[in-house]
Each structure stands twice: as structure tokens, then as C-alpha cells.
């Protein structure tokens, strides 16, 4: 690998992604990949923290791999791999658990939210989720982690654990920085604009899925909740319009001011149609390309195989260093 800084990020194959995931994560990945030595993972172990149907999880993993590729992740340039294919992720999680305190995990916003949402399945994995995420990041001596704003608290923990481990055992991990896109680090629900857009929302009109076709995208935007009044301007009193403006800007790379000027004097109906068409113009070709790639499972398997081999080599170096620092006797070889 060239001598560039290291970028790591991951997405869970926990369902069909939304334009929130696209804007908060995938779009930035494509933009950043060539400036860094980039490592992208499919965080399948993370998905097990909420109940999954095994067959659906397998299908979603292929869907996500194809989507990464359709969004422009280049498997020659970047490392693309499935988290469970590289055992070091689970192994480093165990070591990091020994420097993490339960109080740090029980106060995580995501843990609290998901505990309420999955009351019947508040398992240890759900609580330990951020430690596995820290292991993902720290194994690659990562400099930069592009993520949506909802993951900021988890990144802070990864930094804290790296610093704590380094203080206790000597310099081992690089301390990573987060990267949050300028716009749309937090895309809100189309039905309840004070909640984040989530792929697991039971109201299908609340999110635009990356699998929605052109007509569906336009129809969902037409139905999006707007606010009272008629001006198309961003403000805290207008969360619905603000969210649509943010999405429009993120897809067109226009500034808020430019977008507000463009729609001055226009009605909500025209505005929502323009947003829908703009989003569809970008998402529809990605969906078609993803479906094309999905037809060639062998190709996907070969990409993930070589990705796992490259990831394993990188991760293995850090894990060996960690095991040595904490005093585990290395296994004799040969
Ligand atoms: P779930 O809804 O199943 O909990 P998720 O979509 O929140 O999942 P991931 O699939 O792991 O979680 O998220 C992948 C990336 O997408 C992360 O970087 C996350 O911050 C980002 N992301 C998720 N939702 C949004 C959103 N509404 N706006 C911007 N970024 C988002
Ligand atoms: N929890 C993340 C997905 C994730 C991740 C990571 C992101 C798992 N491991 C490591 C960045 C770095 C989420 O976005 N919900």
C-alpha cells in the first residue's frame, strides 16, 4: 500500500440502506477513497446484536457488497471485506473489553434507544457494540473514520479506549479522527422530521430506500411532511422543509442559500417534486448497477475473498502487537 493516511469505515448489512446511509456514509466513502488507504467493511457481526433472520442476513450481505461496488468503491484500490471473515475483530474486542467499563457502555445513546426498541432482546452484544466498533477501527491504525453524526459517541469511545490502552501498555494504537460530511450528516425521517431516517422504520413512507424505483422516490417525496407557512427556507421552526432542503443540497452540492434562492416564490408542491426528481436521478442508476452486480455472485465472492486476505494481514499486525504488550505468550510456529 502507498504511504497515505488510513481510512476505515463500515456499514451493517441489517437491511436495505436508505438515502441517509448514502449521504452520511457511502457518498463520502467514494469521495475520500483515493486520498487514503481505504478499508471498508460489512459489519455483519454488529447486526447480530438485534435479532436477524439468517437467510435474510446472508441476502443483505450480498446486497450491501453490491451496493458498495455500485456506489464506486473500487476493490482494487480499497480493501472491501466482511467483518466476520477476519477473526481479529472478535479477538481484539475481547482485549478491549478488559479496558472498558460497563458505565461507559450503558450510557450510550444508541444502546438506550435500541434497548427500548428491542425490549425483549437486550443482550450483552447490544451493550458491547461500541467495543466491537472500536476494535474495527483500531486494528487498522486508522487516521480517519467517515461516519454519520449518530456514530460520534461511539467514535469518542474508540478514541478513549485507544488512549487508555496506550497509557497502560505503551504506544500501540493510533488515535482516530471522525469525518462528518458538511451536509446531511443526519438525514431526518420524511414522516417525522424530528427523528433520524432509519432503514428499520415500520412506516415505509418515512425513508427512501436505495431499492426504491424512480416513481416510488417521487411519490414518497410528494407525501413528505412539510410545515405550516409557505416559504422554502431552512429554520428550526421548519424541520420538514429544512430536511428536504438539506437532502436537495447534498444531492446537488449546492449551498443552502443557493437552494433557497432557486425555490423562492415556488410552492411546496413544485419544491417536493424537484427534490424527488433530483434524488431519483442519482439513486435510480445506482440501484440498476447494484442489481447488475448482484447477478454475479462469483465476482462478489472473489472481491470479498481478496479483501479479507488483505484485511487479515493488516489487522494481524496490530493484534500481534497487542497480544505481546498485554503479556500473552505467542504460539510457537514451525
Ligand atoms: P439501523 O437503522 O439498522 O440501526 P443504521 O442505518 O443506523 O442502522 P448503519 O447501517 O450501521 O446503521 O449505518 C451506516 C452509516 O450510515 C453510518 O455511518 C451512520 O452514521 C450513517 N447513517 C445512518 N442513518 C443516517 C442518517 N439518517 N443520516 C445520515 N447518516 C446516517
Ligand atoms: N456502527 C456503525 C457501523 C460500524 C462502523 C464501524 C462505522 C461498525 N463498525 C467502524 C465506522 C467504523 C454504524 O454506522 N451504525
Q: Which residues pair with 11 in a beta bridge?
A: 42
Predicted pLDDT of residue 228 = 86
Phi-psi region of 253 (alpha: psi -120 to 50; beta: other; left: phi over 0): left
pLDDT in tens, 145-167: 999 889 999 999 999 999 999 99
* Nearest protein Cα to ligand 1, atom 23: 21
Compute the chain's Rg from CA coordinates: 21
Q: At what angle do helices 88-97 and 124-138 cross, to 10 degrees?
A: 110
pLDDT in tens, 42-73: 999 999 999 999 999 999 999 999 999 999 99
Any atom of ligand 1 within 6 Å of the Cβ of 45: no
Any atom of ligand 1 within 6 Å of the Cβ of 147: yes
Any atom of ligand 2 within 6 Å of the Cβ of 47: no
Any atom of ligand 1 within 6 Å of the Cβ of 151: yes
In a 3-state reduction of DSSP, which class is residue 255?
A: coil
The rounded Cα 254 to chain-centroid distance in angstroms is 23
pLDDT in tens, 286-324: 999 999 999 999 999 999 999 999 999 999 999 999 999
Any atom of ligand 2 within 6 Å of the Cβ of 45: no
Dump the DSSP string for 171-193. Answer: S-S---EEE--SS-SSPBPSS-T
Q: How confident is the model at residue 173 (pLDDT cuts 50, 70, 90)?
A: very high
* Nearest protein Cα to ligand 1, atom 18: 147
pLDDT surpassing 80 at residue 185: no
Alpha-carbon distance 12 to 44, whole Å? 6
Q: Indicate the pTM of the whole model.
A: 0.94
Q: Which residues pair with 82 in a beta bridge?
A: 42
**Residues designated as active site:** 114, 196, 199
pLDDT in tens, 94-146: 999 999 999 999 999 999 999 999 999 999 999 999 999 999 999 999 999 99
Alpha-carbon distance 17 to 136, whole Å? 21
Indicate which ligand has the atom closest to the C-alpha of 25: 1
Q: For residue 174, how far is its CA from the centre of ligand 2 (angstroms)?
A: 18
pLDDT surpassing 70 at residue 1: no
Helices and strands in the chain: count of H runs, count of E runs: 14, 5
Q: What nine digits make up the cell of 174?
A: 493510533
Q: For residue 213, how far is its CA from the centre of ligand 1 (angstroms)?
A: 21
The DSSP secondary-structure symbol of 22 reads I
Q: Which residues pair with 300 in a beta bridge?
A: none
Question: What strands lie across the sheet with 144-146, from one edge to the other?
Answer: 79-82, 37-42, 6-11, 144-146, 177-179
Amino acid at each position: 500500500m502507498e504511504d497515505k493516511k488510513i481510512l476505515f469505515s463500515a456499514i451493517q448489512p441489517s437491511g436495505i440502506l436508505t438515502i441517509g446511509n448514502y449521504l452520511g456514509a457511502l457518498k463520502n466513502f467514494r469521495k475520500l477513497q483515493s486520498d487514503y488507504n481505504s478499508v471498508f467493511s460489512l459489519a455483519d457481526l454488529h447486526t447480530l446484536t438485534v435479532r436477524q433472520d439468517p437467510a435474510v442476513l446472508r441476502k443483505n450481505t450480498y446486497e450491501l457488497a453490491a451496493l458498495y461496488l455500485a456506489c464506486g468503491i473500487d476493490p482494487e484500490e480499497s480493501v472491501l471485506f466482511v467483518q466476520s471473515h477476519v477473526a481479529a475483530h472478535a479477538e481484539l474486542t475481547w482485549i478491549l473489553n478488559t479496558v472498558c467499563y460497563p458505565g461507559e457502555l450503558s450510557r450510550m445513546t444508541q444502546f438506550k434507544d435500541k434497548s427500548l426498541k428491542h425490549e425483549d432482546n437486550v443482550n450483552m452484544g447490544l451493550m458491547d457494540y461500541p467495543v466491537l466498533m472500536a476494535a474495527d477501527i483500531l486494528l487498522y491504525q486508522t487516521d480517519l473514520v467517515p461516519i454519520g453524526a449518530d456514530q460520534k459517541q461511539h467514535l469518542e469511545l474508540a478514541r478513549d479506549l485507544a488512549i487508555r490502552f496506550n497509557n497502560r501498555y505503551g504506544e500501540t494504537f493510533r488515535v482516530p479522527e471522525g469525518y462528518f460530511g458538511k451536509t446531511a450528516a443526519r438525514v431526518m425521517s420524511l414522516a417525522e422530521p424530528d427523528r433520524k431516517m432509519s432503514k428499520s422504520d415500520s412506516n415505509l413512507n418515512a425513508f427512501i430506500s436505495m431499492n426504491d424505483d424512480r416513481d416510488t422516490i417521487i411519490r414518497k417525496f410528494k407525501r413528505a411532511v412539510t410545515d405550516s407557512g409557505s416559504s422554502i427556507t431552512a429554520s428550526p421552526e421548519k424541520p420538514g422543509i429544512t430536511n428536504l432542503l438539506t437532502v436537495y443540497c447534498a444531492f446537488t452540492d449546492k449551498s443552502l442559500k443557493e437552494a433557497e434562492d432557486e425555490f423562492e416564490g415556488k410552492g411546496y408542491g413544485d419544491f417536493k417534486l424537484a427534490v424527488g426528481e433530483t434524488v431519483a436521478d442519482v439513486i435510480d442508476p445506482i440501484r440498476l448497477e447494484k442489481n447488475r452486480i448482484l447477478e454475479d455472485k462469483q465476482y462478489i465472492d472473489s472481491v470479498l475473498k481478496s479483501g479479507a486476505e488483505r484485511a487479515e494481514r493488516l489487522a494481524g499486525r496490530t493484534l500481534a502487537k497487542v497480544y505481546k504488550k498485554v503479556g500473552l505468550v505467542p504460539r510457537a510456529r514451525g
